[in-house]
Amino acid sequence: MVRIRRRALTGGRGPRQTRDMPRLYRVDTGDTIGEISEKQKQFLVDMLEEEDEDDQDYFINQDTLELFSDNNCDPELLALLEGALDDGEDGVDIAWE
């Protein structure tokens, strides 16, 4: 039997964080995923579907991350989002403040 190992979409580089950047977090736990730049936040807004104009939480899963990778997502943002998904988890709701 051949085992197929899922490869990481990023090189695993950690994010660079600075002050006054939006904090990206898991909605279910409130755990901080990391801080993102305004450009990274705009990428999320452009790529993800909002249910209404005040919507700032989004569901992501492995398919979402692959779509992001195919659309030239910033590698640091992609690494943060990959880290937010626990092994075996179908997906997670994220938001920022």
Give the three-class secondary structure for 54. Answer: coil
Per residue in 47-95, pLDDT tens? 998 777 777 789 999 999 999 999 999 999 999 999 999 777 899 999 9
**Which pLDDT does position 20 carry in this prediction?**
80
Per residue in 28-42, pLDDT tens? 999 999 999 999 999
E strand map for 46-91: 57-60
Categorize the per-residue pLDDT at 11 as very low, low, confident or very high, splitting at 50, 70 and 90.
low
**Which pLDDT does position 52 carry in this prediction?**
79
**Which pLDDT does position 54 carry in this prediction?**
77
Exposed e or buried b per residue across 39-75, where buried means at least 16 C-beta atoms within 10 angstroms of its C-beta: ebbebbeeebeeeeeeeeebebeeebbeebeeeebbe
